[in-house]
């Protein structure tokens, strides 16, 4: 009996310690290690896209911290100010892993120098790719020189695309009502 009580007590202590260590233990663990950064000239050569811009929105498919996964990409919408390489619009989206899994920890309202590669039609960046805050990229900017301005105006928060479903619905409803009125008028004409 004493042995069973001792085992149960030890098991409870082990569980409590595991919970405490898990809750207040290591804050974050990085799952990647990067080789030395080859520098902006090499990054410009090896990356598909290089631009400067402001992160305007950071969107994760899972906003529930306990259910977040490093497999769920984080979408970051940018207002692009200058381009050195690649076809980038004034407003463009970048995808990264969660910052726990080699992803870049983008903050809305912050300017970045972004180095990225196209993968399956999406622009992707990672912690080892050279992307950094613009205020920490003076050495890169010196080597990169003057970039070009993006084509087309920036759409604030995707204003046009946000209203598009409503506009299409209104147009469809208008056409529907027009055809009903036309059909009634025609029916009265044939009577």
The residues, ordered by sequence, that sit 6+ positions from 94 with a Cβ below 8 Å of its Cβ are 75, 76, 78, 106, 114, 116, 123, 124, 125
Domains of the chain: 40-157 (2.40.50.120)
Tokens 């008028």: give the residue.
185
Instruction: Note whether 76 and 53 are within 8 A (CB).
Output: no
104-127 residue pLDDT tens: 999 999 999 999 999 988 999 988
Global pTM reads 0.63
Average pLDDT (52-57) is 95
144-168 residue pLDDT tens: 999 999 877 655 544 445 556 666 7
């Amino acid at each position: 009996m004493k042995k069973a009580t001792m085992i149960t007590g030890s098991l409870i202590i082990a569980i409590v310690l595991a919970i405490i260590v898990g809750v207040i233990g290591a804050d974050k663990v990085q799952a990647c290690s990067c080789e030395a950064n080859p520098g902006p000239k090499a990054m410009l050569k090896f990356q598909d896209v290089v631009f400067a811009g402001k992160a305007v929105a950071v969107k994760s498919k899972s906003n529930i911290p306990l259910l977040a996964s490093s497999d769920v990409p984080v979408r970051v919408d940018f207002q692009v100010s200058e381009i050195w390489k690649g076809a980038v619009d004034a407003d463009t989206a970048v995808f990264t892993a969660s910052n726990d899994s080699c992803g870049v920890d983008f903050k809305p309202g912050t300017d970045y120098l972004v180095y990225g590669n196209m993968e399956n039609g999406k622009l992707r960046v990672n912690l080892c790719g050279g992307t950094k805050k613009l205020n920490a990229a003076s050495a890169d900017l010196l080597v990169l020189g003057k970039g070009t301005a993006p084509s087309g105006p920036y759409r604030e928060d995707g204003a046009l695309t946000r209203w598009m479903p409503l506009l299409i619905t209104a147009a469809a409803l208008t056409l529907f009502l027009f055809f009903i009125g036309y059909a009634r008028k025609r029916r009265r004409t044939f009577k």
